[in-house]
Structures are given as structure tokens and as C-alpha cells.
A and B are shown apart, each in its own frame.
Chain A
Amino acid sequence: MAMPVAGVPTESPAAHVPAGHALARIGRAIRSNRKAATGTILLLIFVLIALFPWVIARDSPTTDAYQPHLGASATHLLGTNAYGQDLFAQVVWGTRNVLIISVVVGLATTGVAVLIGVAAAYLGGVWDGTLSVLTDVLLVIPLFPLLIVIAAYAHGGTTLVLIAAITLTSWSYTARQLRSQALTLRNRDYLEAARVRGERRLYIIVVEVIPTMTSLIVASFLTNALYAVLLSSSLQFIGLGDPNTVSWGTTLYWAENNAALQTGEPLWAIAPGACIALLGAAFALLNYAFDEIGNPALRPVRRSKRVRSA
């Protein structure tokens, strides 16, 4: 489960460009790359739904107010489940929980990884040794089973427990990548200059080192957000989340508990799963596009310009 995703840039050409330029470049790249544009639009739609769910779903996601087992119709776009809850409302209102988890975990994981990775590379010596061993050990312990064990002892996770558990266990891959990139920067002239100027270490790390790694940090955020979507939904699906939260994973949990597929209510299980896949795809597409931007060799070849092979 902890296999690295193929779409993670290993090196970025933006290494010398200050942060402002890098972000502007990213913006331009999103507009010109079709995968990035699709990913951005998908993500924006989900963010809008999470912010204003009542605009498209007037029904409450939790009241058992309707007749159970209704099929899809104009009043209930996805029908109702065995408890008489409106499924469209559940899916729409459930967006918020997943999106909060993915963004918070994405930011927190990347933050921890930046701290540990850059500190290891920049401080060197014993610090580097200790932090690297810690990173490597955490990297190889199977993530999903570990999360299952933690959530089991915690007797199911509220959203906060899920966020904390996923963040604490999944920063290692990013930390390792950031460390290797920071290592290549360590002896650059402009850092030497900062040291000669007499700047403090913290200042050098925050102002000189981290901004040059913006591309990689953004890409890491996307990967971590994608993993947070999949991991938290999976945990909620197997009943290790809080069964009262409104979220896609919880809806799936109740669907599986009521054998929705076997009792002729496929939409109960298929709809929230499709949403997870779409949100995941949004993050994955953005990430892949970043990879293409960072590594021109991977960009799709235009047929007319194609170099003759074989």
C-alpha cells in the first residue's frame, strides 16, 4: 500500500528560481497543460460543493425523513437508502469532511516532512543520522495496517483522530525526497554567501533553502492529499471512523453493513465511491501534470514533431 506513486518529481529545474517566480510558472503551466486544467477544475468543483452544500442539496443528509429504498428520481437524485435518508444529500454534504481531511493532512504531512527533511540535510552529522534512520524506519512499516491497529486501539477515529494518525505515520516518504533535494543545495554559493553574511541557521533554512524547493513541496502536498483521501475513506469504510460523521467513507460503511449491493441499492455504495475516485483523480492529475512540467522528457510527444523511432 505504501508503494510510491509514479507521479512524483525527483528533481526540479526550479531550484534557483525564487518562490514568486516558481508560483507564477506553476500558474502558467496549469493553464497550458490539459491534465493540470482538468485536475484544477475538478478540485474547484469539489471545493465549491464543500463550501456551499445547501445550494444543490436542500435535504438534510442525516434525517430519516423519507420512504426507504426509493430509486433515483427527480426529488431524490440518487434515491434513498434503507434508513430513508436522501443519498444525494449524503454525498454532497459528505464532500466537506473528506476535503477537510485531505487538505489538513496534506498541509500537516508536508509541513512535518519539510521540517524533518530540511533539518536533516542542513544540520548534518548526528542530526542527519538520527532523523534519516527515523524516516527510513517509518517508511518501511506498512502504513495501512499500522493505521488499522492505531484506530482499533483508539476505538474508532473521529475526524481529528484520523487526521492525527495519518499525519504522524505518513510524512516519511516526502521527508526523504526533500532531504535529498536539500542536500544538493547545501553547498550552493548563495547559501555560502548567507553564512558569510552571518545569518542565523533558522533564517537560512526558512528564507533561503525552503523557497527554492517550492515545486517539490507543492507536488508533495498533492501526493499527500491524495493519500489522505484514500486512507481516511478506507478507514471509515471498514468502520474505523466515527459512524456518525457525514462523509463518503461513512456512507460506504453503512452501505456495506446493509449489503446495499446485494439488496438492490447499488447507488448507495457506487455514488460515494465514485466521488472518492474523482477527488483522488483530481489530485493525481495535478500531480502528474507537475511531473511533466518538472521533467520535459515525459511530456506527450506531438505526432508531427515525432522523432522517428525504430
Chain B
Amino acid sequence: MRYALRRLGFFVLTLWAALTLNFLLPRLMPGNPALAMMTKFHSAGANPQTLRALETLFGVNNQQGLIAQYFGYLHQMLTGNFGTSLSQFPASVTSVIGSAIWWTLGLVGVTTVLAFILGTGLGIVSAWRRGGKLDSVLPPVFVITSAIPYFWVAMVLVLVFGITLHWFPSQGGYYVTTDSPGLNLTFFQDVVNHAFLPAMALLITTIGTWILTMRNTMITTLAEDYVRMARAKGLPGWRIMLDYAARNAMLPNLVGFAMSLGFVVSGAILVEYVFNYPGVGYMLLQAVDGEDYPLMQALFLLITVAVLVAILAADILTALLDPRTRAAR
């Protein structure tokens, strides 16, 4: 119980830190970037009420002191008032994000689950057949792939499978000109087709971590006495591998999985950028490009909150699955 409360306290503290960062950054930067943005809102024809809300968010033309601004800002954030988007004026930031989030959740969510399952499986086999073909090839290969930038893998895939071979579409989330979103099979196929290459790019660059972590933990577990005991009992090899060694080596990977779910929202910024995929990451970069600071601020907050929730979940998972953590606290 005390452990849970401490983790919850940390969650609140970090959330507060992220909110404060969001508040301070535009105010600390030289040249007052927010002022230029406000002029654009003016010329876009924003009504006085919208302008006042934005002034509170960014501290422009504001007679209030910094402390009063800060509490005004916190109040707006906690009541879910993230302001109005500049690049898609006059839509609210919340509705703009709402249209993009599902694309990211679908693409990156599914890919993360796949990468976890495949990577953990390969890691188990690789550690079990220590020194075998798989084990001597995989680790060095994935040490190198972990150093390759996501976006470059994405570009190579675009070049090879999109432009040269024409196997898969390499831009956007669906054919905007010929297809319209709806609950039908054609649209579904279209979406899967468009998601294939970005998903491969993510899979290639993320699977290595799962394989290496699983392999390295499992190698340690395989040396434990209870594994030797299981062998002495004459249990079949696959049972020792799965029920004895893999099960006990699984914890770091499971916790990592819980955490990586939080990075789903932010994990694919560059891949989405290369594929012009209509998700949250692409939107963040568009917001940066169009100096749409309210949208950028809200997206950064969303990304941070997603990560914080995932870390809280990972902590709880560790406590539930590993009795040693509970005893230690």
C-alpha cells in the first residue's frame, strides 16, 4: 500500500513537472515566440474570448504577474481547456488531436504488441540454444539495428517497396482521393495496405531490444538450480524452456512492454513523418512547422501523460508479479 502511494505521488509530481515545463519554455525562450503566434491568431479572426484564453496559456499581453499567470494556466490545463489550434483554425486543439490519435494507436499499438511477442519468442529460443546459429547471428545484428535511425529504415522501405517495386503505398493512411473512411472491407484493406510499410519500419527497429533483453535475462535464469533440478527430474526440454526458464526471465520484458505501451503515442514521430501518416507524431511536427503552439503544447502533454500512466502500470505489474518487490519495500 505504501509502495502504491509512493508511486502515485511520483506520478503527480512528474505530471506537475511536465506542466511547469510547458509553462516555462515559451516564456524563457529569447524573442518571445508566442507573440508572433498571437499576431497570426489576430489576423485569422479569433474572437476576444479565444484570444484571452491563449494569452493566459502563453503569457502574452498579460498584465498579471508570473504567479497569477501560472495558476491561470494550471487551471486551464486541469479543466481540459487546451486552447484553439492555429493551423486548423477555428477547431479546438482537443478535436484536432481526437482525429489523429486513432491512426497512431492503431499503427503503433499493433506493431508494439507484435514486436513484443516476436522479440520475446526469438529471445527465448536464442538463449535456449545457446551458441547455436540463431544465437550467434541475432545479437550482433540487433546491436547494429538499434543504432540505425528509425527514419532511415523507413526511407529505405519507401524506396525499395514503395517506389521501386510498387508493392505497397508509401504515403498517407489511405487513398484520400479514391477512398473515404467508413466501416467497410475496402477501406479496411486500404488502411492495412498503407500501414504495412510503416509497421515494418517500426518492427525492424524495435524488435532488437526485446530479443536482447529476453535472451540476456534468460541466460542468467538457465544457470539457476531450479532449472538443473527440472532437468534432473527428466522433464521434456520445451517444458523446462517455457515453464521454468522463460517464465522466470519474463519479468523485465513484461515490465518493458507495459512501459513501451506508453511510448506508443510518441514512438513513431519520425516514421509517421516519412510516410506522411496522419497520426499524432506527424501532427506534432506539422504543429511545429506552422508555429501552432497550443497544439504542440497539448500534444507534448498527451505524450507525457501516456508515458506516465504506462510507468505507473509497469510499477503495479512488477509489484503484482514479483513478490520480492513487495517484501523489499
Contact = CB atoms under 8 A, between A and B. Distances in A.
Interface of A: 1-3, 5-7, 35, 133, 136-137, 140-142, 144-146, 148-150, 152-155, 226, 230, 233-234, 237-240, 252, 256, 261-262, 266, 269-270, 273-274, 276-277, 280-281, 283-285, 288, 297-298, 300-303, 306-307, 309-310
A14 B57 CA distance: 52
Interface centre among A266, A303, A309 (most CB of B within 10 A): A309
Contacts of A303: 131
Interface of B: 10, 13-14, 17-18, 21-22, 25-26, 29-31, 33, 128-131, 135-136, 139-140, 143-144, 146-152, 155-156, 158-159, 163, 208-209, 212-213, 216, 219-220, 222-223, 237, 240-241, 256, 259-260, 263, 266-267, 269-270, 273-274, 284-285, 288-289, 291, 293, 296-297, 299-300, 303-304, 307-308, 311
Contact of A238 (B216, B267, B270): B270
A152 to B, nearest CB: 4
Given A1-B263, A277-B144, 10 more contacts: A3-B256, A7-B143, A149-B25, A152-B288, A238-B270, A240-B288, A281-B147, A284-B144, A285-B143, A288-B139
A284 B147 contact: yes
Nearest to B18: A141
Contacts of A310: 128, 237, 240-241
Enumerate the 9 nearest inter-chain pairs by beta-carbon distance, A residue then B residue, closest first. A280-B147, A273-B152, A301-B131, A6-B212, A284-B147, A153-B29, A277-B148, A152-B288, A310-B237
A256 B159 CA distance: 12
B25 A150 contact: yes
Contacts, number: 166
Interface of B is mostly: helix
Contacts of B17: 137, 141
A277 B266 contact: no
B83 to A, nearest CB: 15
8 contacts: A6-B146, A7-B146, A142-B266, A153-B33, A234-B151, A261-B159, A270-B159, A285-B144
B285 to A, nearest CB: 6
A194 to B, nearest CB: 31
Contacts of A136: 10, 14
A280 B263 CA distance: 22
Given A6-B209, A140-B307, A237 B148 contact: no
Given A140-B308, A239-B289, A280-B149, A145 B209 contact: no
A252 B148 CA distance: 14
Nearest to A301: B131
B287 to A, nearest CB: 8
A283 B143 CA distance: 10
B144 A261 contact: no
Nearest to B151: A237
B247 to A, nearest CB: 17
A265 to B, nearest CB: 11
A297 B216 CA distance: 9
Contacts of A7: 143, 146, 212
Given A1-B266, A288-B143, A310-B128, A298 B155 contact: no
A248 B247 CA distance: 44
A239 B139 CA distance: 34
Contact of B285 (A148, A266, A300): A148
Nearest to B206: A3
Given A261-B158, A270-B156, A309-B222, A230 B269 contact: no
Contacts of B241: 310
A133 B285 contact: no
Contacts of A288: 139-140, 143
Contact of B155 (A2, A238, A270): A270
Contacts of B304: 141-142, 145
B163 A261 contact: yes
Contact of A145 (B143, B219, B269): B269
A302 B136 CA distance: 10
B14 A230 contact: no
A249 to B, nearest CB: 9
From B146, B223, B273, B291, residue with most partner A Cβ within 10 Å: B146
Nearest to B36: A155
A148 B14 contact: no
Given A277-B149, A301-B131, A309-B222, A153 B144 contact: no
A273 B274 CA distance: 13
A155 B212 contact: no
B147 A283 contact: yes
A284 B146 contact: yes
Most buried by A among B129, B163, B266, B304: B266
Nearest to B28: A153
Contacts of B128: 309-310
B42 to A, nearest CB: 20
B13 to A, nearest CB: 7
A234 B147 contact: no
Contact of B33 (A155, A234, A256): A155
A218 B10 CA distance: 31
A231 to B, nearest CB: 10
Given A3-B209, A137-B14, A140-B311, A273 B149 contact: yes
Contacts of A283: 147
A148 B269 contact: yes
B143 A276 contact: no
